[in-house]
Structure 1
Amino acid sequence: MKIYSHENQMLHQPKTYFSRGKMRQPQEKPERLIELLKAPKALGLTVITAKDIGIEPILDVHDLGYVDFLKNAYSEWMAVEEDMGEEVQTTIYMPNNNEGLGILAKAAKYQADGSAPIGKYSWTSIYWSAQTALNAAQNLLTQETEQNKIQVCITRPVGHHARKSAAGGFCYLNNAAIIAQYLLKKYNKVAIIDTDMHHGQGIQEIFYDRKDVLYTSVHGSPIDFYPVVAGHEHERGQGEGYGYNFNFPMPHGTDEAGFFDYVDKSLATVELFNPDVIVHVLGFDVYKDDPQAKCHVSTEGFQVLAQKLKELNKPLIVLVEGGYCIEKLNDNFQSFLSGL
C-alpha cells in the first residue's frame, strides 16, 4: 500500500460558508488534514509527498475557462477598486446566459453554491489536491505490482461535487473524475465507488453518458439534503451510459447495518461490471457523530468497509474526501487503514 499527500493542501483556509439561508462556520478546513495525517504515522506507514503530474489531466475533465477562473479569480477579485471582501464568494448563481464579463459575473457562472469560496492560496491547495490523486493513478499506469495495488490519497479540498465547470459543496476540481479519465490511458473499464455521506453529482454529471466509467454512490437521500437536485435511484445514465450509473440513497437515520446493506448492493454492481481498476471516494462524514451525518457508521465500521473493498481484489485508489468530526478523523482513518 502507498499513501500520498502534499503540504500545500494546508494553504486553503475558507473563511465563509453560506448554506440554507445563513452564514456558517467553514467545515472543510486545514485542521482536517492535520488529523488525517496522524493516522498513517500512528500505524508506522510512510506518506509519500506527491509530485507534479501537470495540468493536462485536469483539462481532460474540466473546462479551460473554469480552470482559469479557479487559478486567477482571487487576483481579479482583489483588483476591483471596491472592497469585495477577503474571498471570492457570490450569492448570484447564473451558469447560463452569462458571458462572464467581470469577476462577479464569472463567480456567478462558476460557483454553484455558497460553500466554495476562493482565497489567496486556494488555487495552490486545489491544484495539489488533484496532483496528490494523480500520483496514485500515475503509479498504477507505470508500476502496478501486488505491493502497490492499493493506494490511498489524503486530499483536500475534496472533489466529488465539482462539476465540469462549477465549484460547490467544498469542491473545486473533481479528483475522482480526473484520475478515472487518466487511468483510461491503460485500463478499459474504471469503477468509482462513492460512500461519502453526500451524492457526488459532479462525478455523475461528467460520466453520465459513458459506459467506460461506472459510478455507484451510497449516500443520504438528497431530499432536502445536499446536493438536493441529484442522487435519486432513477438516475441511471443516458445514451450509451444508461445503466452505468447507480445511486443508492439511504433514508435519513439509517443505522450501520443498513449502511452496509446499501454498500453490498453497490459492490455487487461493481463486481458485475468487472472493472480493471477501482476508485473509492471515502467520506468519513457517514460517521455517527459527524455534523453532516444522516446515518450511523461506527469507527469499527470503517475497517469493515475497507475489508469489503479489498476483497474485490482489484487495483484500488482510495480518495479520502468528506469527514468533519475533526476529533475522530484520526481514529476513523486508522480503522480504515487497518482494514486495508
Structure 2
Amino acid sequence: MKAIFDDRQRRHDPQFRLLDGKIIENPDRPARVDVLLDGVGRAGYALTSAQDHGIAPISALHTPRYIDFLRTIHARRSALVGDLPEVVPSRTCPDRSMNYSYDTEALMAFHNADTSCPISAQSWEAIYWSAQTAVTGAKTLLLGDKTAYALCRPSGHHAYAELAGGFCFLNNSGIAAEQLRQAGHRPAILDIDVHHGNGTQGIFYDRDDVLTVSLHVDPAQFYPFFAGAACETGQGRGAGFNLNLPLARGQGDADYLATLDRALAHIDAFGASVIVVALGLDAHEGDPFQGLKVTTDGFAEIARAIASLGLPVLNVQEGGYMQPALGDNLASYLGAMGAAV
C-alpha cells in the first residue's frame, strides 16, 4: 500500500474554536500529522509525495466563487482590518438562496457553517495540498494499486460544494471519488468517521453515479445535528443512493461491525467497482469527542471487513484527534487492510 502525503499540509495551524461560549484550542493541530505518520510507519508503509494535478479536480465538485474565497479571503480581509492572524466568521448566512454579496464579512458568513474553520495566510496552501493528496491517491488506484492511503489534513467530509464547516474546507473524499468516476469507475464512498459526512451527502444527494454511505453517531444529539438521519436517502436521480446508518452514542465493536455489514451489503448491491473510505479514527473509545467505543483491534476488524469485498480501496484521512491511541488506531487499520488485499 502506498501512503501519500505532502508536508505543506502542516501550514494550516488553526488557533481558534468557539465552544460553549469559550475560545478554545482548535483540535485539528499540525501535530496530528506526526502521530499519523508514525502510524503509517508502524504499519510498514513507505511515504509517497503527493503530485500537483491542478485546480480542475477540485473545481469538479466546488464552485469557482468558493475556491476564490478560500484562496483570497485572508488577504482581502486583512487589507480592510489590519493585522489579522485568522479569518473567522462572526455570523453565518441564514438563507444561501438569496443575494450573494462580495463584501468580505458577507463572504465569511456565506461560506462558513460554523466557527471551526479559521483561515490564516498559510491555510490555502495546506487545503490545496490536502486535496491534491486525495487526487494522487485516486490516480494511484487508476495505475493499478489495490489500495492506498491519503493522509489528508485538513479533513474534508463536512465540506459542501461551497461551504466550510467542522474543520473541513474541500471535500477530499468526494474529489477523489469524482476522479475515479470520471475515469470509468462506479465509486462508493464509505464514511466511517464518528460524525456524519454531511458535506459528502450534500454534494452527491441528487446523483446516482456515486453511492454515499455513512456510519456515525445519531445526529439528534451529535454534530452535525442537521443531517445524517436514516430517512435521508437522496433526491431526484439520487433517491435511494444515500444510506445513513446512525448509531447510538457509546456503541462498541460488536454493534459497529454488525452495522458495517449492512453498509457493505449495500455497496455490493450498488455494483461498486471501487471504494473510497472516509477514514475517521474518531470512533475510537479514547477520542476526545467520545461518540463511540470502537477499540484499536476493532479498527483492524473494520479494515478486514471492507477488504473482504475484494475491491480497490482508497483510504482518505478524515477525523481522529490527539489522544494516546491515535497512531495505534491507524497502524491497526492500515496493517490489517494491507494484509487482507
TM-score, reference length from structure 2: 0.95
Q: Which residue of 1 aligns with 2:165?
A: 168
Following the alignment from structure 2 to structure 1, what is the Cα–Cα distance between the partners of residues 115 and 189?
A: 27
Paired letter, 1:160: H
Q: Which residue of structure 2 aligns with residue 28 of structure 1?
A: 28
Partners of 2:132 and 2:160 in 1: how far apart?
Answer: 18
Q: Please state if 1:155 is matched with 2:152.
A: yes
Q: Distance in 2 between matches of 1:53 and 1:82?
A: 34
Q: Hey, what's the Cα distance between the residues in 2 that align with 1:72 and 1:213? A: 31
Q: 1:9-48 to 2 correspondence within 5 Å?
A: 9-48=9-48
Q: Indicate which of 208, 211, 222 corresponds to 1:211.
A: 208
- CA drift at 1:82: 5.2
Give, in angstroms, the shift of residue 188 of structure 1: 4.1
Q: Secondary structure at the match of 2:110?
A: helix
Q: What residue number does 2:61 align with?
A: 61
The one-character-per-residue Cα deviations of 1:142-185 (angstroms, maximum 9, x if unpaired) are x11xxx21011111000000000000000000011111111112
Q: Which residue of 2 aligns with 1:132?
A: 133
Residue 111 of structure 1: how far off its partner (Å):
1.1
The equivalences for 1:1-340 within 5 A come to 1-81=1-81, 85-94=84-93, 96=96, 97-141=98-142, 143-144=143-144, 148-340=145-337
Contact 1:19 1:115 survives alignment (8 Å): no
**CA 1:37 to 1:305, structure 2 compared with 1: closer, same or farther past 3 Å?**
same
The structure 1 segments of at least 4 consecutive aligned residues displaced by more than 6 Å after TM superposition are none
The alignment partner of 2:314 has SS state of strand
* Code of the aligned partner of 1:184: R
Which one is further off, 289-298 or 120-129? 289-298
Cα 1:39–1:206 change in 2 (3 A) is same
Percent identity, please: 39
Q: Give SS of 2:226's match.
A: coil
Cα distance, 1:21 vs. partner?
Answer: 3.5
Instruction: State the 1:187 CA deviation.
Output: 2.4
List alignment gaps of at least 5 residues for structure 2.
none
Residues 251 and 294, structure 2, Cα contact 8 Å, conserved in 1: no
2:136 aligned partner, one-letter code: N
SS at match of 1:228: coil
Q: Following TM superposition, by how much is the alpha carbon of 1:289 offset from its aligned partner in structure 2, in angstroms?
A: 1.0
Could you tell me how far apart the structure 2 residues matched to 1:324 and 1:33 are?
Answer: 10
Q: What SS does the aligned partner of 1:280 have?
A: strand
> Partner of 2:303: helix, strand, or coil?
helix
User: How far off its partner does 1:284 sit?
Assistant: 0.8
1:24 deviates by 2.4
Residue 98 (structure 1) shift: 4.0
Contact residue 288 and residue 323 of structure 2 kept, 8 A: no
Question: Partner letter of residue 103 of structure 1?
Answer: T
For residue 157 of structure 2, give the secondary structure of its aligned residue in structure 1. coil
Give the TM-score taking structure 1 as reference length: 0.95
1:27-68 deviation per Cα after TM superposition (whole angstroms, max 9, x unaligned): 011011110001222343211011101100100100100000
CA distance in structure 1 between the aligned counterparts of 2:116 and 2:161, rounded to whole angstroms = 17
SS at match of 2:237: helix
Distance apart, 1:253 and its partner CA: 1.6
> C-alpha offsets along residues 236-289 of structure 1, whole Å, 9 cap, x if unaligned?
001111111000011112122111121111111111112011100111100001
Q: Is the 8 A contact 2:303 2:334 kept in 1?
A: yes
SS in 2 for 1:106: helix
Partner SS for 1:112: coil
Contact 1:32 1:326 in 2 (8 A): no
Per the TM alignment, residue 18 of structure 1 is displaced from its structure 2 partner at its CA by: 1.6
| Structure 1 portions without partners, runs of 5+ | none
> 1:35, 1:326 within 8 Å by CA — same for their partners in 2?
no
User: In structure 1, how many angstroms separate the alpha carbons of the residues matched to 2:225 and 2:81?
Assistant: 36
Q: CA deviation at 1:325?
A: 3.3
